[in-house]
Structure 1
Amino acid sequence: MGRKILIALLVNCLLWELVSAATDKVVCYHGSWSKYRSGNGQFTVNDIDPNLCTHLIYSFVGINTDGSILLLDSTLDVNNANFANFNALKTRNAALKTLVAVGGWGEGSTKYSAVAASATSRATFIQSALNLVQTYGFDGFDIDWEYPAQRGGAAADVQNYATLIKEFRTVFDKHGLLLTAAVAATPGSVDQSYDVPALSKYLDIINVMAYDIHASWDGVTGQNAPLYASSIDTTASAKLLNVNASISGWISRGADPQKLALGLGVYGRSFTLSNSAISGLGAPVSGAGNSGPYTLEAGMLGYNEICEAQLAGGWTTVWDDEQKVPYSFKGDQWIGYDNPRSIAIKASIILFIVNYAKSLNLGGVMIWSIETEDFRGICGSKYPILNAIKSALGTANENIEENVNDDTGGNDDASSGGGTAVDDGNDTPVGDETVVDDGTASGGTGGVTCTQAGYIRDPADCNKFYYCLLVGSSYQPLAQQCNSNLYFDLESQTCNWPQLVSGC
């Protein structure tokens, strides 16, 4: 009895620690140029729902060669009060944090490399950023240098960037301001560009851009943001081109997982097939896909453009169960993208992608970018991607909280919890493959047996599930239970509709 009480206390202490650091950040970038888009694609600050994001980042400003901030669209930002209206969103959500981002793909790397190399230019950059943030009421500053030591940069950028953010941190701490950055995702690019421990030490949030992993430049079709490698990824380098390898790579290189935000692309990468009769993953392509009516960029389609095109009919959508993302094709056009189902899977695993028992949960998720959501609800409800994130993260955090109040140490008394997972209704039910190691369970009188960390489903009752937590030298099953009309889905790590759950 004494040992059981001790285990229960240890479990509760660990779970309270997890709750206090539970994933809660939803970082949303806003591309201000979407104000100039046509028709249903035109997006203004007034279209933002400030209650779906915890952090909103206004994109972009640039820099001059001396390091001072350059307003890339002063008419929109200042004269038309876009900065002011953006920060006024905090009146509708007092907990919301707003930031302004510098850089982006279009700004390149050359100027940033030169500024970071000079102590005088770094000081100018930091002071100019501070003035901008304080003048317009932002809560912080985001650095989107794409990328140090690449695209015209120099090898010294790695150390100079670390020095830059250290100096930013010193100044911003005096004013209680946030400092974040958008960073490359794949291991090869990370090794080329960053001193990971330094970024982890000085930044509040590291927004990992885990998208653009495959596109038409590959010469074959590929997923924009595959969660895992595909069976056609046979080389060592190809096996690292996925979200899981990217996040794991950041952690193994010294990043604090609680500072990482998993970047989710609210858009797809499109391709033109060389032969419309060959339309699977890895099919040869002749180039980028057709541009959409709003984004007007070949090879890229916003989620709103994708879903509106599918409403018109004629598209075939396939669920890629290896990589946990869909793709669609019609004629010679092929799109790899995320939908609410794949987003929910990615969001729901971020608490558990690393060792749960040691509280190494990620800090949150990030989306690029809010204006390519279905923000008008043309294809259904408004903001389906962000609502899928909210649902998945809410369910995950509720599951942790439910266990804090369960002092049984892992017996069969299950607490009520769970929630509904989001599915778009267009995909077939998922298979038995799990997102995280599910351990093994054996049924029998008195409960289940855990052999490793992870979720397992009750072998006799799909409504019940357990988290296997390492306590001392053994794994203890923490009992949980879905709402009465739901089953636990090992695929999405959430409670789901029974007809969408395999193996039950």
Structure 2
Amino acid sequence: MRFLKAPTLFLVILSLTLCSATNKGGYWPSWAQDYFPPANIETTFFTHVYYAFLSPNQDTFQFEIDDTTASALNSFTTTLHQKNPPVKTLFSIGGGSFGTQIFSYMASSPDSRGSFINSTIQVAREFGFDGVDLDWEYPQTQTEMDNFGLLLDEWRVAVNEEAQSTGNSKLLLSAATYYKPVIPWDVVHTYPVESINNNLDWINAMCYDYHGSWDVTATGYLAALYDPNGDVSTSDGLQSWINAGIQREKLVMGLPLYGRTWTLQDPTVDGIGAPAVGLGPGNDGAMLYSEVLEFNAQNNAKVVFDEPTVSYYSVVGTSWIGYDDVESVKLKIEFAQSLSIGGYFFWTVVGDQEWRISQLGTHSILSFCTLLRRHGLMKT
């Protein structure tokens, strides 16, 4: 038996952790069709792309797809499957503006859950999707969390049975979740981690929006890796999921491609937590990452990388923007890799500027995988 030398063994181990297991996702919002169609997505930087969003009927919990939407869905899957390289496609259900009530009703009984589940499978197969993503923001009580778990149990059974009966590959199942497994609002309630482990392929933990338009009295970091003064951070959120027992490969870290904005009370007091009097530039206090860079350049903004939180902010007069940039995202991806979790995703792919952030994790991973192939240590 020939033993591998230490450097070779090290490369093989890294190949398993970096080249095979990393989920690199991106959400594509359907309202971007006119200015950023799916054909514009550079699939080199992603493994999975999500169509956001579809919503079920509030009475039947089934999906009613009109001709315009059907055309968009077909175009989405066909375009991304034919790209080089191709990516897996999922359609995401709900979203932040959809609310919780319909999901709560749907998940509350076996009949309504079954109606919803069967319709998701039908839509996925009809339009050529590889899977389905549930974006329920968020279950409001422990009863809703328990019903969420029942939904996942039954969904997995239905997906397995459909694949077995048709010979098709199993549909992927994922869910967008709160950044922690415990939601502390009103009555504390906890995600059904055991059901997630048993039934989902992964969760997309939304590790952003720690501060925003709902709190206009002070500036705040959007998606800090660390919180020097508390536990509202990506590092705490991911570790909380791991401590709760989630399988690491099923935990995917969210990254924002946008910024949150405030108007400072005093332009000379401009750090994180500075007094503010309202929202800043952008749409309802939000700007795409590409818009942030443009705003900074046009206005000669003061740009600050805040090392304690691993986040950025920029200041122009009384305008204050909190966001992520290249260095903070690099450090977050390295942190995720150090935890051996499943990967990362972006909200949304349309926010980047010339893929300067989307490419970060992929370039290091691709270059490393290329090195392995050159040395004959990894199959193509």
One fold, TM greater than 0.5? yes
Specify which of 354, 360, 366 is matched with residue 345 of structure 2. Answer: 366
What is the one-letter code of the residue matched to 1:387?
A: Q
Higher RCO, Cα 8 Å, sep 6+: 2
Matching of residue 205 in structure 1 with residue 202 in structure 2:
yes
Matching of residue 20 in structure 1 with residue 13 in structure 2:
no
Which residue is 2:69 aligned to? 77
Q: How is 1:60-209 mapped onto 2 (pairs within 5 angstroms)?
A: 60-70=53-63, 74=66, 76-78=68-70, 81-88=71-78, 89-93=80-84, 95-149=86-140, 154-174=141-161, 175=163, 176-186=170-180, 188-189=182-183, 192-209=189-206
Task: Give the share of equivalent positions with the same residue, in percent.
Answer: 29
Which residue is 2:39 aligned to? 46
Extract unaligned runs of 5+ from structure 2: 164-169
Q: Secondary structure at the match of 1:173?
A: helix
What is the one-letter code of the residue matched to 1:172?
A: V
Q: Secondary structure at the match of 2:338?
A: coil
Q: Mark the CA change 1:69 to 1:18 in structure 2 (over 3 Å): closer, same or farther.
A: farther
Quote the Cα distance in structure 1 between the aligned partners of 2:147 and 2:284: 35
Quote the Cα distance in structure 2 between the aligned partners of 1:156 and 1:194: 10
Q: Mark the CA change 1:120 to 1:226 in structure 2 (over 3 Å): closer, same or farther.
A: same
Shift of 1:398: 7.7
Quote the Cα distance in structure 2 between the aligned partners of 1:120 and 1:251: 33
Structure-1-length-normalised TM-score: 0.67
Shift of 1:6: 9.5
Quote the Cα distance in structure 1 between the aligned partners of 2:289 and 2:265: 24
Shift of 1:393: 3.9
Instruction: Indicate if the aligned counterparts of 2:181 and 2:191 stay in contact, CA closer than 8 A.
Output: no
Quote the Cα distance in structure 2 between the aligned partners of 1:364 and 1:398: 19
Quote the Cα distance in structure 2 between the aligned partners of 1:309 and 1:217: 23
Shift of 1:107: 1.0
Instruction: Indicate if the aligned counterparts of 1:264 and 1:368 stay in contact, CA closer than 8 A.
Output: yes
Q: Mark the CA change 1:307 to 1:259 in structure 2 (over 3 Å): closer, same or farther.
A: same
Q: How is 1:39-438 mapped onto 2 (pairs within 5 angstroms)?
A: 42-70=35-63, 74=66, 76-78=68-70, 81-88=71-78, 89-93=80-84, 95-149=86-140, 154-174=141-161, 175=163, 176-186=170-180, 188-189=182-183, 192-218=189-215, 219-230=217-228, 233=229, 239-291=230-282, 297-353=283-339, 361-374=340-353, 382-394=354-366
Number of residue-to-residue matches in the alignment:
362
Shift of 1:192: 2.1
Instruction: Indicate if the aligned counterparts of 1:19 and 1:401 stay in contact, CA closer than 8 A.
Output: no
- Structure ranking higher in helix proportion: 2
Instruction: Indicate if the aligned counterparts of 2:302 and 2:315 stay in contact, CA closer than 8 A.
Output: yes
Shift of 1:314: 2.5
Instruction: Indicate if the aligned counterparts of 2:29 and 2:348 stay in contact, CA closer than 8 A.
Output: yes
Q: Mark the CA change 1:283 to 1:166 in structure 2 (over 3 Å): closer, same or farther.
A: same
For the pair shown, the structure with the greater C-alpha radius of gyration is 1
Cα deviations by residue, 1:436-473 (Å, 9 ceiling, x for unpaired): xxxxxxxxxxxxxxxxxxxxxxxxxxxxxxxxxxxxxx
Structure-2-length-normalised TM-score: 0.87
Instruction: Indicate if the aligned counterparts of 2:325 and 2:357 stay in contact, CA closer than 8 A.
Output: yes
Quote the Cα distance in structure 2 between the aligned partners of 1:121 and 1:216: 35
Instruction: Indicate if the aligned counterparts of 1:225 and 1:242 stay in contact, CA closer than 8 A.
Output: yes
Cα deviations by residue, 1:256-275 (Å, 9 ceiling, x for unpaired): 11111110000111111111
Shift of 1:391: 2.4
Extract unaligned runs of 5+ from structure 1: 37-41, 234-238, 292-296, 354-360, 375-381, 406-504
Shift of 1:216: 3.8
Q: Mark the CA change 1:66 to 1:182 in structure 2 (over 3 Å): closer, same or farther.
A: same
| C-alpha RMSD of the superposition | 2.6
Shift of 1:155: 3.1
Cα deviations by residue, 1:188-219 (Å, 9 ceiling, x for unpaired): 42762411222122110110100001224332
Q: Secondary structure at the match of 1:69?
A: coil
Quote the Cα distance in structure 2 between the aligned partners of 1:127 and 1:47: 32
